[in-house]
């Protein structure tokens, strides 16, 4: 079984829980605190005002409630996205554990340019920077020559370019730190949901592979991409571990 060299970050699930806790607290305030304040302060005030001003205050309250409802719906959606992301990464983690013991896996490697790499895999067949996406539905994923599309529409974020940039950053770092110009990092974008992809195992752009999760093991163990000896695998993993331990939290 492959070796995980560090624990996977719980950032996604923790962020989702914080959002849900905030929404729950806000809802409790609306249910219990607002009525008490209303009857103690607003009720006497309203009935002391003119009819026109009371009507205006009533309309303003309705508008405020609509805005609050929409804000809560937005943050519920954001929270769901975080939960989906965490579920996708857990699925990929289970798959990666099936790799042979020669493979070393480092989850959640920070990119100094911003963001993080979901998983870095180092093994006899090379170094891989994995980006995991977990979307709902059966969207057909295509490439329009510049960006990936889902059912003909571009994603709000250029996830393919994000995957390529992560691999480029990691490759440059390893070549510099190890003084080895022959190290190459393969970018791999993985859809952990039920999306339809027709790229096979051919690079889509700048050597980046776009696959579904069930083909991940096949891609990572395919020979001919690179060939790393056990000493080089150890060198690379120690370099990555050292870099991670020296980064500020």
Q: What is the pTM of this model?
A: 0.70
- Per-residue pLDDT at 93: 87
- Per-residue pLDDT at 18: 58
15-56 pLDDT, tens digit per residue, is 555 555 665 666 555 555 555 555 555 555 555 555 555 555
**Residues 96, 47 contacting (CB under 8 angstroms):** no
Higher-confidence residue: 244 or 107? Answer: 107
Question: What's the count of helices (H) and strands (E) in the chain, helices before strands?
Answer: 7, 10
Higher-confidence residue: 223 or 183? Answer: 183
Give me the residue spans of the domains in the chain. Answer: 11-82, 100-245
Cα separation of 108 and 92, whole Å?
13
Structure tokens at 230: 């056990």
- Per-residue pLDDT at 74: 55
Place of tokens 């990929």: 92
169-222 pLDDT, tens digit per residue, is 999 999 999 999 999 999 999 998 788 888 888 899 999 999 999 999 999 999
- Per-residue pLDDT at 138: 77
- Please, where are the H alpha helices in the chain? 11-28, 34-37, 43-46, 51-96, 159-178, 216-221, 230-245
Cα separation of 119 and 132, whole Å?
8
Q: How many CA atoms lie within 13 A of 36 on its CB side?
A: 6
Place of tokens 């895999």: 121
102-135 pLDDT, tens digit per residue, is 999 999 888 877 788 999 999 999 999 999 988 7
Mean pLDDT of the chain: 78
């Amino acid at each position: 079984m492959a070796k995980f060299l560090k624990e996977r970050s719980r950032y996604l699930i923790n962020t989702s829980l914080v959002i849900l806790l905030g929404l729950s607290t806000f809802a409790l305030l609306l249910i219990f605190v607002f009525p008490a304040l209303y009857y103690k302060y607003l009720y006497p005030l309203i009935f002391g005002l003119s009819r026109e001003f009371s009507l205006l205050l009533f309309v303003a309250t309705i508008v405020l409630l609509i805005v609050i409802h929409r804000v809560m719906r937005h943050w519920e959606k954001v929270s769901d996205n975080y939960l989906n992301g965490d579920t996708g990464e857990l699925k990929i983690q289970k798959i990666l554990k099936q790799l042979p013991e020669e493979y070393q896996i480092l989850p959640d490697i920070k990119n100094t340019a911003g963001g993080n790499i979901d998983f870095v895999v180092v093994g006899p067949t090379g170094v891989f920077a994995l980006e995991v996406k977990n979307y709902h539905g059966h969207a057909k994923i295509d490439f329009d020559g510049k960006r990936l599309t889902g059912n003909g529409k571009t994603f709000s974020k250029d996830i393919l370019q994000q995957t390529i940039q992560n691999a480029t950053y990691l490759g440059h770092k390893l070549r510099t730190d190890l003084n080895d110009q022959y190290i190459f990092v393969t970018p791999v974008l993985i859809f952990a949901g039920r999306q339809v992809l027709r790229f096979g195992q051919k690079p889509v752009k700048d050597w980046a592979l776009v696959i579904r999760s069930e083909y991940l093991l096949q891609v990572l163990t395919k020979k001919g991409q690179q060939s790393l000896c056990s000493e080089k695998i150890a060198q690379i993993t120690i370099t990555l571990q050292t870099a991670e331990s020296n980064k500020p939290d």
